[in-house]
Amino acid sequence: MKARTRLLLEQLSRRWPALQSLESDVVAAFEMICRGHRGGHILYTCGNGGSAADSEHIVGELLKGFLEPRRLCQEDRQALERRVGPEEAEYLGARLQYGVRAVALTGHPALSSAVANDTAPELIFAQQLYVLGRPGDILVALSTSGNSVNVVRAAQVARAGGMGVIAFTGQHGGQLARLADVTLAAPSLQTFEVQEYHLPLYHTICAMVEHEEFGGQ
């Protein structure tokens, strides 16, 4: 782990003392995501309500620059130039950024409504993951209770398909904790408080991944 990455982890405990006990789980989630990225795998996210917004938020921090620039290297800029010409390559090369391959399963309302209507509402995430997911991919499953049925079904499909599972839950973990490789169980049973804790947890993980994979020393 780079020095700056370690500092980001330490800042979480200083700013949010109630989350200090989750430091080892944050590291485990960070390491899993880094391994997946290096292996060319995809990270999927899902959740309901506020957790659906969090699942989109996580993907947003991974797919583009978060705290640091992720500028293209000269080799990749030259590859753009060979394919689209110097003028367009100059524009694209100056603005495109590196990222972690990530997909929010909450972002397909037409498909989700079709699954809910034609098969079962609890399968809106599981159906997508069953088709898209591959061994070595990762599911980030968010449920403040740990028992949201559609999120649990997605985790079951992930386990059956050889994917890793990172769960963001409330204090007791629920069913998700039994399915996950890593559980980040926020120290509260109140939904809004759990969601408030989830934000600094996943912000820290995303920042750590960004620096480790795209930053300097």
- Is pLDDT above 70 for 31? yes
Confidence of residue 5 (pLDDT cuts 50, 70, 90): very high
Instruction: Quickly state the pLDDT bin for 216 (edges 50, 70, 90).
Output: confident
CA nearest 201: which of 21, 45, 2?
21
Mean pLDDT, to the nearest integer, of 120-148?
98
30-38 mean pLDDT: 98
How high is the mean pLDDT of the chain?
A: 97
Name the band, by pLDDT with cuts 50, 70 and 90, for residue 195. Answer: very high
Scanning the structure block, which residue is given the tokens 């397909």? 108
Q: pLDDT tier at 217 (50, 70, 90 boundaries)?
A: low
197: left (phi over 0), alpha (psi -120 to 50) or beta: alpha
Separation between Cα atoms, residue 98 and residue 76, nearest integer Å? 10
Residue pair 98/70 in contact (Cβ under 8 Å)? The answer is yes
- What mean pLDDT is predicted for residues 166-194? 97
Residue 35 to residues 7, 24, 79, 160, 194, Cα–Cα distance (Å): 20, 16, 26, 20, 27
Six-digit token string for 190 = 């109140």
Angle between helices 191-214 and 23-38 (to 10 degrees): 50
pTM: 0.96
